[in-house]
Amino acid sequence: MKTITLKPVDSFFFRGHAYADAGSDTTMTGFFPPRPNTIYNALRSAYIYTNSSFESFTKEENEELKRWMGSPDTHGDFRIKGLFISKKNQLVLPLPLDYQVVEDDESLTGYPLRIKQNDFFQSSNSTDWALYATVKNKKSKNAQGKFAYFDQWKQSVLNQTPIHRLLITHDFVDEYAKVGIHVDYVNKKAKNEYLYRMNMLSMKPDCSLEVLIDRTPDFTNVRFARLGGESRPWIVKQNSYEHPFFWNSKELQEIENQLRENCIARIILLTPSIWKQGSRPGSFDEVTGKLVLPNDITVEPIAWAVGRPEVFGGWDIVRNRPKQRQWMVPAGTVVYVRIDEEKISKLMNLANGFHFSDDLIQEGFGFSIISGVVKGG
């Protein structure tokens, strides 16, 4: 799979929907990594700026540009699979939320939760399945915001074994506070009551952002893109190699064997996803308890490990107004589903990656993979 590497020239800042009120002191806290749409739109703008003009893009005069980047109202053929972090030239993936995180010897270890069937229903709205922790008498931490190296992640998820030495955000970026004021450029004086403070980030030297590309034009001559608050410059590098993403043939066979043993699959979201029902996707029917996957397979969810949904929106530059707010679940969200044996082969077509989002799949939301459950685990 093709990749594009992004590295910041200087410090940077990504912010959500926090806004500054004029006339009041404001503190803004950013987040990392950025959302996939931020990267998609930055690369899209950088390509337009380098190869044509925004005027030509708006007027839809350049057919090749329109083919790849669309128009102000539509997407083109340019698509990204997802956005990930790289450290020491290794891809890093978000820890699935069906892990129990425990601090061991001053490092974090993730222990996979075990799914078990109860002899009783917990409530009228739940199934008779539940996820259970395997480590007792130790304080657990939130699994969200934890990461693991690609190969380590795969082996743990495939075999449902612990992941040692988990990574956190501060393994990728350093943080420092920036205090500023608003300047009136007419009289060259600071305006009263326009003080703000924001937490700026700087990326560690051995880290970068990796964009996995689905369909793309040639980005060789695109050297810079502007990202985040203040449109800070980032270096763009189109890589000549392709990343072996995701499962290899041996691992796929092992997953299929696991599915045929117990007919239970795990859907793991590697990027955030927009779900119309908040903590449930739009294709989930609350009445029947069934879920329809993108290739029209109907499955039965039996357990959910979902982080707290966040409000997602943005600014519509065409209509000059805020975009409609939607619910977004975090990367690492896991859905356990039960599937009929005759549908397993069709489900395996999704195992190496598919987009499980109700919107913006072209921009990298909802990129997911399929894994199995170890029998007796």
Least confident residue range of 15-19, 62-66, 120-124: 120-124
Which CATH class, in words, describes the domain spanning 93-170+247-376?
A: mainly beta
**What's the pLDDT tens digit per position in 106-140?**
899 999 999 998 765 554 446 689 999 989 888 88
pLDDT at 22: 47
pLDDT, mean of residues 366-372: 97
Say yes or no to pLDDT of 25 above 50.
Answer: yes
CB atoms within 10 A of CB 4: 21
- Domain locations in the chain as residue ranges: 3-88+172-239, 93-170+247-376
Say yes or no to pLDDT of 273 above 80.
Answer: yes
**What's the pLDDT tens digit per position in 182-221?**
777 788 777 776 777 778 899 999 999 999 998 899 999 9
The residue ranking higher by pLDDT, 37 or 105, is 37
- Reported as a pLDDT band with limits 50, 70 and 90, residue 6 is very high
Q: Is the pTM of this model over 0.85?
A: yes
On whether the CB atoms of residues 198 and 12 are closer than 8 A, the answer is no
Least confident residue range of 19-28, 55-64, 168-177: 19-28
Least confident residue range of 150-159, 177-186, 368-377: 177-186
Cα–Cα separations (whole angstroms), residue 299 to 127, 174, 317, 340: 14, 43, 39, 8
pLDDT at 145: 94
Give the 3-state secondary structure of residue 343: helix
Q: How far apart are CA 40 and CA 147, in angstroms?
A: 22
> Residue 81: which of 215, 206, 191, 194 has the closest Cα?
215
DSSP 8-state class, residue 377 = -
